[in-house]
Amino acid sequence: MDCIEYLGSSHYREADMNPTLIHPTKCRYLVFLPVRNGGEYIRFAINSVLAQSRSDWLMVVLENASSDDTLAIVESYSDPRIIVIPVKSGLGIEQNWARVYQVLSQGEIQGQFATLIGHDDILYPSFLEAIETLYVRYPAVGLYQTSFDLIDQNDQYVRPCRPIPECETYIDFLATRGWGLRDSFGTGYVFRVDDYLRVGGIPNFPMLLFSDDLLFAYLAQEGGKVCTPEPHCAYRLHQASTSGSLSYKRSLAVVIALRKFLDHVRRDFPAYWNSPKGRAAIAALIAREVLIFKGPLLYWAFSLSGKEALNALKTIYDDLSGGCPPNRWIAINSVVQWVYKFIRIVFWVTVFFRDRLINRLD
């Protein structure tokens, strides 16, 4: 057992919000896999880590009281580099991902790196080797990434990610994300453990929306970010993924999370917030993500907290947009705009009616 010293002889120990102490000794890379009810795909994720060309890794599965066979699947692996930390009762996605910080804060963190993988994503065998090559070339960088592919629920190739520059600053990263010009998900990024602890881990936003963008900006703030041009991992697109879900609850989370995200950006990244590049990207982000909700029917459908967040975002937009209507920021001409808006309003009202009035979500 080169990479871990167990406190006790069992393969895992139960913990609620007090995870088992993990003391990595020789492993260079820590791979965290938070999961709940991931039995359909988790074997693919675990097997992809086992297939790495480098062997100096430890995988920590943060199992979140799954009601399917997830725990049994993880327990079926005998490799000592795989450890599972379950909980007795289910946590929200925000609380489960927060356990990454809790585990890291109790371990030895000398010179080690960490990465997170979605339970339905995969790392190509070359992933860790590619990251190590990046590190050798750019030892002072704050955030490492590889390009990635998008696959579907049947492991079929969908498309490559949109191009990612080899080197960029946190300002460029935030700007391209604000304009919607960059694919970005939690899988594929690698960072120093001590940097993750220094920035406080992943921000606690509803459903973790915009949380990873803010985390990566914090990590890249000092030293920048680098990426390989070749893909070394894959993100899975399917109906059950967070990015593919659609509901009133998620729509409300988008609005509240975006407001929190921008509050942090304004406070912690003034150089970005006050730059022409930043102001334009923030206006484009607000226009694209939430201003459609300012229609009277959709505005009515939101709870009080949603209305307050919408009003705050509209104020920010008015300050940064230079008087341009939202459709100009998201490149929709006047004819297409009305068709697009009609379809979206009909669609969202249907979603809101189903979830808010029938299921009484709030």
Residue 154 pLDDT exceeds 80: yes
User: Count of CB atoms within 10 A of residue 45's CB?
Assistant: 24
Tally of domains within the chain = 2
Residues 345 and 267 in one domain: yes
Average pLDDT over every residue of 267-278? 97
Residues 81 and 226 in one domain: yes
CB 292 within 8 A of CB 345: yes
What b/e string do you get for 125-149 counting C-beta neighbours within 10 Å, with b at 16 or more? ebbbebbbebbeebeebbbbbbbbb
Residues 195 and 234 in one domain: yes
Residues 57 and 176 in one domain: yes
pLDDT band at 8 (very low <50, low <70, confident <90, very high): very low
Asked whether residue 20 is domain-assigned, the answer is: no
Last residue of a domain, one of 214, 243, 272: 243
Average pLDDT over every residue of 229-257? 81
pLDDT band at 302 (very low <50, low <70, confident <90, very high): confident
Residues 122 and 213 in one domain: yes
Residues 221 and 78 in one domain: yes
Question: What pLDDT sits at residue 7?
Answer: 31
Residues 120 and 181 in one domain: yes
DSSP letter at 163 equals: P
Asked whether residue 107 is domain-assigned, the answer is: yes
CB 172 within 8 A of CB 165: yes
Asked whether residue 9 is domain-assigned, the answer is: no
Asked whether residue 155 is domain-assigned, the answer is: yes
Q: Name the least confident of 260-264, 272-276, 356-360.
A: 356-360
Asked whether residue 330 is domain-assigned, the answer is: yes
Residues 40 and 90 in one domain: yes
Which residue intervals of the chain are DSSP H helices?
A: 42-50, 70-75, 93-104, 127-137, 170-178, 193-198, 211-220, 248-268, 270-273, 276-289, 296-301, 304-320, 326-329, 334-352
Residue 148 pLDDT exceeds 90: yes
Residue 101 pLDDT exceeds 50: yes
pLDDT band at 90 (very low <50, low <70, confident <90, very high): very high
Last residue of a domain, one of 180, 213, 243: 243
Q: Which residue has the tokens 């993990």?
A: 22
Asked whether residue 272 is domain-assigned, the answer is: yes
Distance CA 291, CA 309 (A): 11
Q: Which residue has the higher pLDDT, 278 or 27?
A: 278
Question: What pLDDT sits at residue 17?
Answer: 40
Asked whether residue 200 is domain-assigned, the answer is: yes
Residues 158 and 70 in one domain: yes
Residues 66 and 162 in one domain: yes
Asked whether residue 2 is domain-assigned, the answer is: no
Which range marks the domain in which residue 317 is found? 246-358
Last residue of a domain, one of 192, 227, 243: 243
Distance CA 67, CA 85 (A): 15
Q: State which amino acid sits at residue 108.
A: E
Average pLDDT over every residue of 17-36? 73
The pTM of this model reads: 0.87
Residues 326 and 187 in one domain: no
Average pLDDT over every residue of 243-265? 84
Half-sphere exposure of 83 (CA within 13 A, CB side): 28
Residues 168 and 273 in one domain: no
Residue 47 pLDDT exceeds 70: yes
What are the residues facing 32 on neighbouring strands? 60, 116
For 131, phi then psi, to 5°, come to -65, -40
Average pLDDT over every residue of 169-176? 98
The CATH number for 154's domain is 3.90.550.10
Question: What pLDDT sits at residue 188?
Answer: 98
